[in-house]
Structure 1
Amino acid sequence: MTEPPHGEPVRPPDVPAEPGHGEVWDPGPDYGRVAPREPRAPDPLAVAVGNASLLGAGYLIAGRRALFWAAAVVTVSLVWLTYTTAETWCELLVVLWWAAVVAHGWWLARRHPAAGPRRGQRLLALALTVPVLAAAGWVRFDAHGVADEVADARADGDCGAAVAAQDGVAFRHRLVAAPSAARGDAVVEACERLDTAGGYLSRGLTGDLDSLETGFRRLGAVLGESGNERTVRATLDRFLGGLPTDDGCLTVSIADWLREHVPGPKDLTGPASATAARTAPQALMDCADGFMSTEDWPDARERYQRLLDEYPEDAHADAARKGVGKAGLAIELDRITELVAAADSMGSGYCRKPAKYSQAPAYRKGRTRAVFVGDTEYTDKLPEAWRTDTAHASLVVCTGEAEAGDVVETCQYRDHNGGIGSVRFNKLAVRVKGYALRTGKLVVDRTVQLGGESCPGIVRYFDALPSRMAVTPSNGDVRDAFGPVVGR
């Protein structure tokens, strides 16, 4: 450097010389401004590694703060987009962005004329990036482990285990591995829908067939989504495991519905129909036996007959045949009892419409126990040993009103005016029809005449002396008249 002349001040090299006499000094437009800082000399590898953290650390190492903030905004936006949408394509965008900032950092650093290896920059970049990537990798590994547990539980049809496993998903998993967490959420949501469907099916076990309809439609909707086959089957099996119920008739109605009305694919209708076929015979038997115990004979016979018609080879077939016969006899007996109770004359009840009771003792001439109906003014005087109820009788005897029979004798009586008049005394003629109860056929058709006391010493009458009067039969006279009818 040239020394200044003696006596002149030393002037810094970047300060312009003062103007001479008569000259104006112009410092220029940039005078007084701080010169921009030159980007530090970067290590391309360090910048690339720093950017691999997705925190923009490489741009800071390269001294590019504007790029750092811009990269941070993009990174946060992409991560949040992935978190909110949980779509795989969003994760691909993040990966592409990661590769782009790494490559851009490398390229940018390589352009610097002083680019070269810097130990400190590399250590700093590794200190920032390795923990971030390690943490992200561990969280993703953990999230996929949870996803595997959920998938295994669903494959086993165990919704409870799937939900319990998904409960382990935290915010960090949703932030770093959103699609994986979302798949677990979908499994949980499907399990919740299955739980709701199971609730409807459970109500169906109480006889609410509308709930059964709803439950099966919801099962079908979940089954239509891929991967839910095992969990749907598990829900269906729990419902079908509730059959048979404690009420045989209720089980029959549910089994009928399962055979005829189950909506959905064969994966639902097949097991439902198979369970209906398995439980229906015993349920029909239990239902019929229940009706027998409450003396509801027609419904009992109908259930026994259904069992024979639909399951003729079932182990309960023999018992059902006996049940049909027993119920049929009970129906006959009820009908006979009603007709007998309604027979208060020759033209009503059993006397008008005789019917058979197959279990009645066979009618044989001789000593027969009978039921007496119709006009029972005189038959009520017969011995109790001659009578029985409809369940044990072999003969139903219908009697008509008593009419005048044969003349017994004629007697003279003085009337109220002192005159003498003749009164004829007649036996009592009663029309009798007897029906064999086992067949309902007419076996006796005659008119019996009851004898009795005639020509009493005093005759009581009103107005004029009657010309004809009936004898007064005793209990013995009644027995003598009706004895031949019942073989006595």
Structure 2
Amino acid sequence: MAPREPRAADPLAVAVGNASLLGAGYLILGRRALFWAAAVVTASLLWLTYRSAETWCELLVVLWWATVVGHGWWLARRHPGAGPRRAQRLLALALTVPVLAAAGWVRFDAQGVQDEVADARADGDCGAAADAQEGVEFRHRLVAAPLAARGDAVVEACVRLDTAGGYLSGGLTGDLDSLESGFRRLGAVLGESGNERTVRATLDRFLGRLPTDDGCLTVTIADWLREHAAGPEDLTGPAAATAARVAPGALMDCAADFMFTEDWPDARERYQRLLDEYPDDTHADAARTGVRKAGLAIELDRISGLVEAADSMGSGYCRKPAKYSQAPAYRKGRIRAVFVGDTEYTDKLPEEWRTDTAHASLVVCADEAEAGDVVETCQYRDHNGRIGSVRFNKLAVRVKGYALRTGKLVVDRTVQMGGESCPGVLRYFDALPSRMAVTPSDGDVRDAFGPVVGR
């Protein structure tokens, strides 16, 4: 069957009618088949644009628009009766103008929304960008799909940044793997054009939470930021700068925590590290004081351990004397001392002669007591009635004194303790002994050891 000839129509009216993409020009021509075919193609192209949100789809729509306009003009021009018709033109305008005006307004509105999204992203405000994108509706996605998609991409990047921020927050608890994941995700978003400000805002929020309340934790995080933070300079630069900003104070806080728990080596290491890495920092003077205090505490710990281990002349401090730089200087005269070694008799010395290791100027090592000078000899009758002589000796104790500040030997003598001898009743086992030691009183012990400590 031959194709139906178009009715006489105004070519301009047909072209304008088809410009509405509703196929109105074909209806004016009486070409219903073309009208329905055009409607199907138009709907398909609009749906494709809505689904893909690609610019090339919009170009297809424009090309299709130009095609149906031109095709309608051409068909109308072929008819012998073609010519101007006022009614047709008014009808075409009545259909096309509202459609094009509505499409233009929707695109204008979509552009306004995307401008708000872009401004928010430029300010690094992901929340404002998401709020602006909430204004995108179905009509925008149908008529201006690529514009709406750009806003969706911004919001999606913000969601990824929010996830990265969560990982960074986990890093503030000391989870360095979480910290690494956060920086890796920041770098991925930063690699997409236009996200510089939002990425920087996310990074700044994390860095702004440093230092933490835990100095040692902050040191760990700062070390990681300085040595392991990966990514472009836009990430590593601010991270390193923040690490340099918080590290000195964090090192001081960490060292103070170790001082409080009496972990002297770790405290000194933190103080010394601050001096090595940040010699011009305002904390430097306090760190130098901390190094000295921690060093003295380490010395004192070592000395105290040696003193506690000295239970004889050949053990602990008595075997390996050492110095404590903070000890009072040893001077002849009345001094306070720590007595170690065999303390059978030194335990009887007055408390005012003693002190603890931290305040002593002398460490006195006492050996086991031996027989000293003879005091007197007395006669006793043994169990069998025989008379025998018993010689009573003083108690002799070898004493070595070390100046605690220098660890040097300053006293090396044998002291002798007198005491009660020749008691009225002599208690013994088995045979009558030929020699016995006197029984010293506390006063006798003080008299013997007094010269050692200037008493």
**Shorter-chain TM-score: which interval?**
over 0.9
Once residues 76 and 52 of structure 2 are traced to their aligned partners in structure 1, the CA distance between those partners, rounded to angstroms, is 35
Identify which of 434, 447, 450 aligns with 2:414: 447
Alpha-carbon distance between aligned partners in 2 of 1:337 and 1:329, rounded to the nearest angstrom: 12
| Stretch moving more, 306-315 or 406-415 | 406-415
Task: Determine if the alignment matches structure 1 residue 228 to structure 2 residue 226.
Answer: no
Equivalent pairs: percent with the same residue?
Answer: 89
Deviations 1:50-107 (A, max 9, x none): 1001011110110000000111111111111111111111100100000000000000
Aligned partner letter, 2:352:
A
- The amino acid across from 1:311 in the alignment is Y
Distance 1:183 1:352, change over 3 A: same
Q: Aligned pair in 2 of structure 1 residues 37, 380: CA closer, same or farther (>3 Å)? A: closer
Q: Distance in 1 between matches of 2:448 and 2:56?
A: 110
Aligned equivalent of 1:209, options 176, 189, 201: 176
1:409-424 equivalence runs, <5 A: 409-424=376-391
CA distance in 1, matches of 2:229, 2:107: 43
> Greater CA deviation, 35-44 or 436-445?
35-44
Name structure 1 gaps, 5 residues minimum: 1-29
Counterpart of 2:151? 184
Aligned-pair CA distance for 1:39: 4.2
Q: Is the 8 A contact 2:258 2:267 kept in 1?
A: yes
Partner of 1:243: 210
Indicate if the aligned counterparts of 2:6 and 2:76 stay in contact, CA closer than 8 A.
no
Match of 1:87 in 2: 54
- Of 285, 289, 306, the match for 2:273: 306
The aligned residue for residue 335 of structure 2 is 368
Structure 2 unpaired stretches of 5+? none
What does residue 326 of structure 1 align with? 293
Instruction: Provide the C-alpha distance between the structure 1 equivalents of 2:401 and 2:209, rounded to a whole number of angstroms.
Output: 57
Distance 1:353 1:57 in 2: 111
Distance 1:266 1:73 in 2: 53
Q: Deviations over 1:391-429 (max 9, x none)?
A: 211001011111111222221111111111221111111
1:353-392 equivalence runs, <5 A: 353-392=320-359
Partner of 2:402: 435
**Residue 411 to residue 109, structure 1, CA distance change in 2 (3 Å):** same
Q: Name whichever structure is richer in helix by fraction.
A: 2
C-alpha displacement of 1:295: 2.3
2:437 and 2:308 mapped to 1: Cα distance?
Answer: 29
Aligned-CA RMSD value: 1.5
**Which amino acid in structure 1 is aligned with residue 152 of structure 2?**
D
**Deviation (angstroms), 1:167:** 0.9
The residue identity in structure 2 corresponding to 1:322 is T
Which of these two proteins has the greater Rg computed from alpha carbons? Answer: 1
Alignment partner of 1:97 is 2:64 = yes
* 1:422 aligned partner, one-letter code: S
Contact 2:184 2:230 survives alignment (8 Å): yes
> Secondary structure in 2 aligned to 1:454?
coil
Aligned to 1:8: none
1:459 aligns with 2:412: no
Which deviations, in whole Å up to 9, do the C-alpha atoms of 1:463-485 show, x marking residues without a partner? 11111111111111111111111
C-alpha change, 1:38 and 1:216, in structure 2 (3 Å) is: closer
Moved more, 102-111 or 349-358: 349-358
Structure 1 CA distance, aligned partners of 2:5 and 2:418? 153
The answer for the alignment partner of 1:470 in structure 2 is: 437
Q: Quick one: distance in 2 between partners of 1:211 and 1:217?
A: 10
2:138 corresponds, among 159, 165, 171, to 171
TM-score if structure 2 supplies the norm length?
A: 0.97
Establish whether residue 56 from structure 1 lines up as the match of residue 2 from structure 2.
no
Q: 1:257-295, CA deviations, whole angstroms, 9 ceiling, x for partnerless residues?
A: 111000111111111111111111111112212222232
In structure 2, C-alpha distance between the alignment counterparts of 1:37 and 1:273, rounded to whole Å: 78
Higher mean C-alpha displacement, 286-295 vs 203-212: 286-295
